[in-house]
Amino acid sequence: MQNKKAVFVCCGTGCLANGSGEIYNAFQKQIKKLGLDVEVIPKIKKTGCHGLCQKGPLVHITPQEITYIHVKATDVAEIVERSIIKDEVIDRLLYFDKQQKAKIQSKEDWTFEKKQYRIALRNCGKIANDSIDDYLEKDGYKALEKVLKTMTGQEVIAEIKESGLRGRGGGGFPTGIKWSLAAKAIGDTKYVICNGDEGDPGAFMDRSILEGDPHTVLEGMAICAYAIGAKRAFLYIRDEYGLAVKNMRQAIATAKERGFLGENILGTDFTFDAEVVRGGGAFVCGEETSLLHSIEGSTGEPSPKPPYPADKGLWGQPTIINNVETWANVPVIINKGADWFASIGSEKSKGTKVFALVGKINNTGLVEVPMGITLREIIFEIGGGIPQKRKFKAVQTGGPSGGCIPEDKLDLSVDFDSLIAEGSMMGSGGMIVIDDRTCMVEFARYYLQFLSEESCGKCVPCREGIKSMLAILDDICEGKGKPGDIELLAEIGAMVQANSLCGLGKTAPNPVLSNIKNFRDEFEAHINEKRCPAGVCKNLTKFYIDAQTCIGCGACLKSCPVEAISGEKKKAHILDEAKCITCGNCRDFCRVDAICVR
């Protein structure tokens, strides 16, 4: 096995969208045709996890450790001929690392990878997603065996407590304490649940783990079930995540065949079974009580807490709900020990966190970093900075429950508590980088729009409060803002935070309030000067071409969908404001920044 060459074709959703399925087939065909003794392993891995999904499809060849980017089906024959048979490297398909100013042979040496530390994503992309044998080779199910044969439930819980692991779904509640509550709770049947209802727009780490390494999630859940005395598990996964559902179902089936799930696991008297429940596409179901109602077959509306699910959860029984990424950490903690895990990260936030680094950033992808790293390191070192040398404005974390962190806070340590202190939160790990062409008023409006659609409507503060805030923001973006609007937003926001039933409502005003705090001048420009400084809000934007800067290249002219731009080659162009629909296309095409906002 070790000496055998293997080709890993990234088949995550991002690379599949770029045609990696075709490449996988082409490899199989070509290798079969030549009769080579090579394994072609489909690496089912979400976009960007190995980095750069905009550089996809990615192909990695071992043992030479060659990573190719932007591979096309037409490159396959050449790769087989030169890199698999002859061990040559095809320069043209290598990644050019801008920071190192060189082409790099293996992804392990990309600057993108340098500051990362993979625990939850340790296997993603390195094993075939549909192979339990690959998982077993990477110490798979060893932690479960260790727990079943050498530890009591109490010892397992103590280990998790000592590790300092906190819930990765957003709240950051200490995992070990949660487990101990369920262990003590009295109930006929206890349940273990995986929350895979990843709904934050811009976050996709949970899907990546479910697709790329499903067994690690199952193993984590089985360990918890043993510790608290549960026999059944449910994995609530968004139905939109077709590949994740498929891979997880297959993983459950093979784990059963091999005796890691089912009755008398590994020859002990421990019995444990798991099944997948597909989510219906409601953001509120990420809230744990809503999720429970959804599994029970009802509408996903939250209940007041307490009672907490650890006491009375699914069908009124003690239930542990953890996020996908939390589960993926558990087997590693058991294998390597609580002390090892607690040595990584910051004082109160141990271990690592996976972030989906997206937006106006050069290296889009999933990154896993030790807690306590600074935002600056993530964005400018791992992420490679802002494209087209534009100016960094803010980074949004925590999705619709979080907030934007401005430039002067870039040296903030990334952990649960410092992000909350800045009016944002860790959330499930979306990290959206924003440059000077994003309007912070409209951005706040975007999240409220999302939340007003996703509010389940059960409690009045959330349902009506968000709607009222949205109406005010709509007005401001359309140029109908009035003095006093900012104060009114703050007042309604405080009411919604204080009185909503569940986490969705309690955190819903955060994107607006944090933007008011950090970018108040933009709100004031919209209201008082009827001007959108970022040039996004259409009613408040007028573009013009700066004649001094324009080089007359004609790029803007061609990009304009309404023919509002005219001019001769190599002479300054003119923009007809009467025709302009302020779509901003021309700004994206202009290489010299000549399109300006009035």
Partner 1 sequence: MKEESQIAVETLEIAQKYRPEERFLLAILQDVQRYYNYLPKEAMETVAQYLDVPIVKVCAIATFYKAFSLKPKGKYIIKVCDGTACHIKGSVNLITEIKNILGIEPGETTADGLFSLETVNCVGACGLAPVAVIGEEYHGNLTPASLREILKKYQGGMENAK
Q: For residues 189 and 585, which CB has a smaller minimum distance to partner 1 in the complex?
A: 585
Among 20, 396, 397, 452, interactor with partner 1 by CB under 8 A: 396
Distance between CA atoms of 7 and 20, rounded to whole angstroms?
13
The answer, yes or no, to whether the previous bond of 63 is cis (omega within 30 of 0) is yes
Q: For residues 14 and 503, which CB has a smaller minimum distance to partner 1 in the complex?
A: 14
17: contact with partner 1 by CB under 8 A: yes
- Number of residues lying near partner 1 (CB under 8 A): 56
300: contact with partner 1 by CB under 8 A: yes
Q: Which stretch binds partner 1 (CB under 8 A): 281-289, 328-336, 375-383, 542-550?
A: 281-289
Using CB under 8 A as the criterion, what x/- string covers residues 534-573 for binding partner 1?
A: -------------------------x-x------------
State how far the alpha carbon of 226 is from the alpha carbons of 22, 25, 151, 268, 312, in Å: 43, 42, 10, 11, 19
| CB 587 to partner 1: min, Å | 10
Q: For residues 331 and 505, which CB has a smaller minimum distance to partner 1 in the complex?
A: 505
286: contact with partner 1 by CB under 8 A: no
280: contact with partner 1 by CB under 8 A: yes
Among 169, 176, 351, 359, interactor with partner 1 by CB under 8 A: 359
Distance between CA atoms of 171 and 598, rounded to whole angstroms?
43
| CB 585 to partner 1: min, Å | 7
401: contact with partner 1 by CB under 8 A: no
297: contact with partner 1 by CB under 8 A: yes
Q: Which stretch binds partner 1 (CB under 8 A): 42-50, 261-269, 416-424, 498-506?
A: 42-50
Nearest to 558 by CA among 534, 590, 580, 593: 590
Distance between CA atoms of 463 and 451, rounded to whole angstroms?
9
Residue 39, both tokens? 């394994």
358: contact with partner 1 by CB under 8 A: yes
Query: Assign residue 550 a region: left if phi > 0, alpha if psi is -120 to 50, beta otherwise?
Result: beta
CB atoms closer than 10 angstroms to residue 591: 10
Distance between CA atoms of 324 and 216, rounded to whole angstroms?
9
Distance between CA atoms of 111 and 103, rounded to whole angstroms?
11
202: contact with partner 1 by CB under 8 A: yes
Residue 379 contacts residue 387 (beta carbons within 8 Å)? no
Q: Which stretch binds partner 1 (CB under 8 A): 122-130, 246-254, 337-345, 427-435?
A: 427-435
Burial code of 209-228, b = ≥16 C-beta within 10 A, e = fewer? Answer: bbbbbbbbbbbbbbbbbbbb
Q: For residues 346 and 455, which CB has a smaller minimum distance to partner 1 in the complex?
A: 455
360: contact with partner 1 by CB under 8 A: yes
Q: For every residue of 514-544, which 3-state class applies, written as one string?
A: HHHHHCHHHHHHHHHCCCCCCCCCHHHCCEE
Paired residues of 66 in beta bridges:
61
Torsion angle of C-alpha atoms 404, 405, 406, 412, degrees rounded to 10: -170
- Which burial class, exposed, middle or buried, applies to 160 when counting CB atoms under 10 A from its CB (0-12, 13-18, 19+)? buried
204: contact with partner 1 by CB under 8 A: yes
Q: For residues 35 and 561, which CB has a smaller minimum distance to partner 1 in the complex?
A: 561
Q: For residues 141 and 447, which CB has a smaller minimum distance to partner 1 in the complex?
A: 447
Nearest to 329 by CA among 354, 347, 308, 348: 354
Among 197, 200, 287, 325, interactor with partner 1 by CB under 8 A: 200
Q: For residues 117 and 446, which CB has a smaller minimum distance to partner 1 in the complex?
A: 446
Q: For residues 167 and 430, which CB has a smaller minimum distance to partner 1 in the complex?
A: 430
Q: For residues 51 and 372, which CB has a smaller minimum distance to partner 1 in the complex?
A: 51
The dihedral through the CA atoms of 537, 543, 548, 550 has a sign that is positive
| CB 518 to partner 1: min, Å | 17
Using CB under 8 A as the criterion, what x/- string covers residues 233-272 for binding partner 1?
A: ------xx--------------------------------
443: contact with partner 1 by CB under 8 A: yes
Residue 121, both tokens? 């994503």
446: contact with partner 1 by CB under 8 A: yes
Strand order in the sheet with 319-323: 273-279, 232-238, 191-196, 319-323
Residue 15 contacts residue 57 (beta carbons within 8 Å)? yes
DSSP annotation of 65 reads T
Q: For every residue of 88-138, which 3-state class applies, written as one string?
A: CCCHHHCEEECCCCEEECCHHHCHHHHCCCCCCCCCCCCCCCCCHHHHHHC
Q: Which stretch binds partner 1 (CB under 8 A): 85-93, 95-103, 195-203, 469-477?
A: 195-203
Q: For residues 136 and 553, which CB has a smaller minimum distance to partner 1 in the complex?
A: 553
Using CB under 8 A as the criterion, what x/- string covers residues 43-82 for binding partner 1?
A: ---xxx---xxx-x--------------------------
Q: Which residues bind partner 1 (CB under 8 A)?
A: 13-14, 16-18, 46-48, 52-54, 56, 199-204, 207, 239-240, 277-278, 280-283, 294-300, 356, 358-360, 364-365, 396, 399, 430, 432, 434, 438, 443, 446, 450, 456, 559, 561, 583-585, 588
